[in-house]
Amino acid sequence: MTRTTSDTTATGPFVPPTRFAVPGRIAVSNRAAALWQTATLTEVRRETPHASTFRFAVPGWAGHLPGQHLMLRLTADDGYTAQRHYSIASPPDDAGHIELTLDHVEGGEVSGWFHTLAKPGDEVEVRGPLSGFFAWPGDRPALLIGAGSGVVPLMSMVRHHRARGLTVPLRLLVSARGPEDLIYAREYGAETTPVFTRRAPEGVPVGRLAASQVAPLLAAEQPPGGWEAYVCGSNAFAEHASRLLVAAGQPVDRIRIERFG
Amino acid sequence: MNVTRGFTGRPRVQNAGLPPGQYDAGDDWPVLSAEVTPDLTPADWSFRIDGLVAEPHTWDWAEAHALPTSAYEGDIHCVTSWSKFGVRFGGVSLDAFLDTVRPDASATHAVAYSHTGYTTNLPLADLTGGRAWIAWEYEGRPLPAEHGGPARLLVPHLYFWKSAKWIAGLRLLDHDEPGFWEQNGYHARGNPWEEQRYSGD
């Protein structure tokens, strides 16, 4: 039998000929991900007409990094369950609390329960944190681009940056239909540029995220060593934003994308 | 069982095709790639099988299309919990490609890799016996780029992250080697009927 010695991998793991494209940022704890835990709702805060933040006490929470998500499960009394992935909005705080910001999805069985029935004291189940791919440990300069509730995992990064007083550069471009739809509007500072696609305050242009907003960040404003780019939103937005990044010179293997679905 | 106060959920449907913890996405087909959708034309595309095989081989678009066509009609299941029913993919059975390269008896697993560099690992047994395809058509039309066109791996009996988009090749190995999501906490095999979502499930 013939064997192509050049192709077999007697030493070391297989490495594809094309560089990926975003290796994971952190080692993931499989133990934390394997376990369903009770999360008790402690607070509900309205963010926009269509989105609210839900704060939970999770005493056994293993801790997370900004950008990670979890799986959340609701159970009906006949045993029927519905589970969804949600990004974590809160920064790591070691206090056994996490926050999720959920859109009220039309006809959504899980988000519908949260927006119409949930109240403090209610218990749901979560497992996580999950996935190291979209995590930002706070080490590399971070260029964050999100739309709608796609800003949620990015806000965890902004909050982490702020809470720890990090000096590594961080910028956020956040797209919303109008000012009233801008989640976390009161929390943004100089690191953030909002983009309004339908309605804007007087003097602010209306239109989708444009090359003119992305290109300067990859030119004069580019930090030494370049950006790690994190894009989150609908697939249409993610395609648009990632094309703008590539066109502006951001390497594809330093663009991490999380799409709704 | 931890019942959620007041939660009733969607109307119950008796659907034997729905694996545990999944819901029917209807007409939606969410795109969940973690990387930038590549600009890859059929002329740029190639597919290679090497590793533990008698004869490594690389197919270009035309040569792959000269193989006997084969279709998959059925369901697909994403680990994020949506399932999609009654989809139709066209392409070539992976068996036809493997027949050309003749896997070594020692080959037990494969790493599938994309033109983007994405990787995912599979037992060779999940890629043979008419259960895996290289697919370039969806519902009779060219597979859209965001869904992995010009061609993707299709292994519909496993969670869909195993069906690598923009498929570039398979490396056959005598051991299992975790791919991209598998290194990020996801299950090595990903059988939706056993709800193998995460490592340890």
Residue B178: give its domain's CATH number: 3.90.420.10
Residue B3 maps to a domain:
no
Residue B87 maps to a domain:
yes
Considering only CB atoms, which chain B residues are within 8 Å of A24?
Answer: 180, 183-184
Burial class (CB in 10 A: 0-12, 13-18, 19+), A52: buried
What is the model's pLDDT at position A94?
A: 73
Whether chain B has a CB inside 8 Å of the CB on A2: the answer is yes
Q: Do A18 and B113 touch (CB under 8 A)?
A: yes
What is the model's pLDDT at position A132?
A: 83
Q: Which of B15, B36, B37, B102 to mutate to test the interface with A (most CBs of A within 10 A)?
A: B36
Residue B112 maps to a domain:
yes
What is the model's pLDDT at position A165?
A: 97
Residue B160 maps to a domain:
yes
What is the model's pLDDT at position B64?
A: 98
Neighbours of A140 (CB within 10 A): 17
What is the model's pLDDT at position A26?
A: 61
Considering only CB atoms, which chain B residues are within 8 Å of A258?
Answer: 34
> Tokens 């999100």 — which residue?
A146
**Fold of the CATH domain A30-130:** Elongation Factor Tu (Ef-tu); domain 3 (2.40.30)
Q: What is the pLDDT of residues A2-14, one digit of tens each?
A: 333 344 444 577 7
Let me know: does A20 contact B116? Beta carbons within 8 Å: yes
Smallest Cβ–Cβ distance between B185 and the set A28, A123, A259 belongs to A28
The string over B105-119, giving b where at least 16 C-beta atoms fall within 10 Å of a residue's C-beta and e elsewhere, is eebbbbbbbbbbbbb
* Smallest Cα distance from A201 to chain B, Å: 32
Same fold: A30-130 with A142-259: no
* Mean pLDDT score of chain A: 90
Which residue segment(s) compose the domain that B115 sits in? 54-194
Residue B84 maps to a domain:
yes
Considering only CB atoms, which chain B residues are within 8 Å of A113?
Answer: 4, 6-7
Q: How confident is the model at residue A1 (pLDDT cuts 50, 70, 90)?
A: very low
Considering only CB atoms, which chain A residues are within 8 Å of B144?
Answer: none
Q: How confident is the model at residue A174 (pLDDT cuts 50, 70, 90)?
A: very high
What is the model's pLDDT at position A57?
A: 97
What is the model's pLDDT at position A13?
A: 74
Residue B200 maps to a domain:
no
* Smallest Cα distance from B79 to chain A, Å: 10
* Smallest Cα distance from A248 to chain B, Å: 14
Q: Which residues, in sequence order, are CB contacts of A76 under 8 Å at separation 6+?
A: B3, B4, B7, B8, B9
Ranges of residues in chain B with a pLDDT under 70 are none
Residue B183 maps to a domain:
yes
What is the model's pLDDT at position A9?
A: 42
Residue B32 maps to a domain:
no
Average pLDDT over residues A219-244: 96
Neighbours of A179 (CB within 10 A): 14
With respect to CATH, is domain A142-259 assigned 3.40.50.80? yes
For chain B, the domain total comes to 1
Whether chain A has a CB inside 8 Å of the CB on B198: the answer is yes
Q: Which of A9, A124, A232, A237 to mutate to test the interface with B (most CBs of B within 10 A)?
A: A9
In A, residues 99-138, which contact B (CB 8 Å cutoff)?
109, 113, 117, 122-125, 127, 130-134
Let me know: does B68 contact B92? Beta carbons within 8 Å: yes
In B, residues 106-145, which contact A (CB 8 Å cutoff)?
111, 113-119
Average pLDDT over residues A232-251: 96
Q: What is the pLDDT of residues A117-169, one digit of tens each?
A: 999 999 999 999 988 889 999 999 999 999 999 999 999 999 999 999 999 99
Q: Would you list the domain boundaries of chain A?
A: 30-130, 142-259
Whether chain B has a CB inside 8 Å of the CB on A80: the answer is yes
Smallest Cβ–Cβ distance between A131 and the set B111, B119, B185 belongs to B185
Q: What is the pLDDT of residues A16-59, one digit of tens each?
A: 776 554 556 666 665 666 789 999 999 999 999 999 999 999 99
Smallest Cβ–Cβ distance between B177 and the set A1, A13, A80 belongs to A13
Q: Do B8 and A31 touch (CB under 8 A)?
A: no
Average pLDDT over residues A86-94: 92
DSSP A187: G
In B, residues 50-79, which contact A (CB 8 Å cutoff)?
50-56, 78
